[in-house]
Amino acid sequence: MVRGGCKVRGEYDRRYRETHAKESKQRNKIWRENNPDKVKEYRKKNLEKTKLYNKKYREQNSEKVSKGKKMSYLKKRSYYILKQRRYTENNRLAINIKRRPQKREYMKRYLLDPANKIKERARRLAHRKIPLKSFCSICKTTNGLERHHWRYNKPLLVSTLCGKCHSIQHMSNLGGGNHCV
């Protein structure tokens, strides 16, 4: 690189950039943080140039880019999950209002079936009258407990089962269909 007709000066500049790269990156980062308007303006002005550079870089370093994306997601995965949970908690009312008409329509259609009316009545009655035991009746675990109706036409005949045992019971009783009516 020849600057001002002097090869020595060009060599000096190159070596200086190599030895002070870390400091230079830090200074540039601070400048970008302090001048966001100028950065935005530059990006607007040089949009095509930046796109071309990024495309070329991705083509030359495709493995590095894909590995970086995967690692970036894995590092931030817990952050994404927490962010989604926080959003749901903070906007529960808005989410429910959006879903309310859909749920109402579904429940109307669901309750039109006489068998479903019986099931819903049994569930409500059991929920009000029978408290959950502190452990599963089959495997004795204390996690994820649910009520299981052996017959929906006998709404107070209920067992406390964990989710896994509950699923197994429904699969083993007549192929998991509407067996409880």
Residue 30 lies in a domain: no
Residue 63 in tokens: 């493995």
Place of tokens 């997601």: 73
Q: What is the count of structural domains for the chain?
A: 1
Domain that holds residue 165: 113-176
Residue 4 lies in a domain: no
Return d(Cα 172, Cα 167) in angstroms, integer. Answer: 9
Residue 62 lies in a domain: no
Residue 155 lies in a domain: yes
Residue 102 lies in a domain: no
C-alpha 5 chain-centroid distance: 58
Residue 47 lies in a domain: no
Residue 133 lies in a domain: yes
Residue 164 lies in a domain: yes
Return d(Cα 156, Cα 99) in angstroms, integer. Answer: 31
User: Can you give the pLDDT of all 181 residues of the chain as single tens digits?
Assistant: 444 555 667 788 888 888 888 888 899 899 999 999 998 898 889 999 888 988 998 889 888 888 877 777 777 888 888 888 888 888 887 777 777 788 888 888 888 888 888 888 888 898 899 888 999 999 999 988 999 988 888 888 899 999 899 888 888 775 544 444 4
Task: Report pLDDT for 33.
Answer: 92
Place of tokens 């009312």: 93
pTM of the model: 0.40
